[in-house]
């Protein structure tokens, strides 16, 4: 096994939305009241691999198969200590 740097940009192979609050082990800190749907995509990075990731966009009219996306870091939760936990996602460009 070797480490390999993947491209930061890719294209959407397919996408969907997550319209309900995931159960545990989901680590986001939304409640059923504060939860907002998020996008999910299978992102093709060059000719190397497809990776599944969250999308920053969840509006179906703004997402399309073949659309270009770029890696970003987004907040996932804020812990009681105030420390912010972040995760990776792709954003349409």
Partner 1 sequence: MQDVAIIGVGLHPFGRFGTKSAIEMGAEAIRAALADAGLSWREIQFAFGGSFEVDNPDAVVAMLGCTGIPFMDVYNGCATAATALELTADSIRMGKYDIGVAVGMDKHLPGAFTSDPVHYCAPSWYGQNGQFITTKFFGMKINRYMHDHGISSKTLARVAAKNYRNGALNPKAFRRKPVSEDEILGAKMLNYPLTHYMFCAPDEGAAAAVLCRADIAHRYASKPIFLKATALRTRQYGAYEVHSSWAAVQNTASPTTYASRAAYEAAGIGPEDVDVVQLQDTDAGAEVIHMAENGFCADGEQEKLIAEGTTEISGKLPINTDGGLIANGEPVGASGLRQVHELVLQLRGQAGERQVPGKPGVGYAQLYGAPGTAGVSILSI
The residue ranges that bind partner 1 (CB under 8 A) are 13-20, 22-28, 37-38, 40-42, 44, 47-54, 60, 65, 76, 87
Q: Please, which residue, 18 or 70, has the CB nearer to partner 1?
A: 18
Q: How far is the CB of 16 from partner 1 (least distance, A)?
A: 3
Q: Please, which residue, 11 or 70, has the CB nearer to partner 1?
A: 11
Cα–Cα distance, 2 to 70 (Å, whole number):
24
Q: Please, which residue, 36 or 82, has the CB nearer to partner 1?
A: 36
> How far is CA 42 from each of CA 25, 88, 91, rounded to the nearest angstrom?
21, 13, 12
Cα–Cα distance, 41 to 52 (Å, whole number):
6
Q: How far is the CB of 33 from partner 1 (least distance, A)?
A: 16
Q: How far is the CB of 15 from partner 1 (least distance, A)?
A: 6
Q: What is the dihedral of CA 69, 89, 56, 38, to 10 degrees?
A: 130
């Amino acid at each position: 096994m070797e480490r390999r740097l993947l491209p930061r940009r890719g294209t959407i192979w397919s996408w969907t939305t997550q319209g309900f609050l995931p159960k545990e082990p989901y680590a986001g800190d939304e409640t059923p009241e504060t939860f907002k749907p998020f996008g999910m995509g299978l992102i093709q990075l060059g000719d190397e691999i497809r990776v599944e990731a969250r999308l920053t966009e969840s509006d179906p009219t703004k997402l399309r198969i073949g659309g270009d996306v770029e890696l970003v870091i987004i907040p996932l939760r804020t812990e009681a200590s105030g420390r912010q936990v972040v995760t990776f996602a792709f954003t349409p460009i």
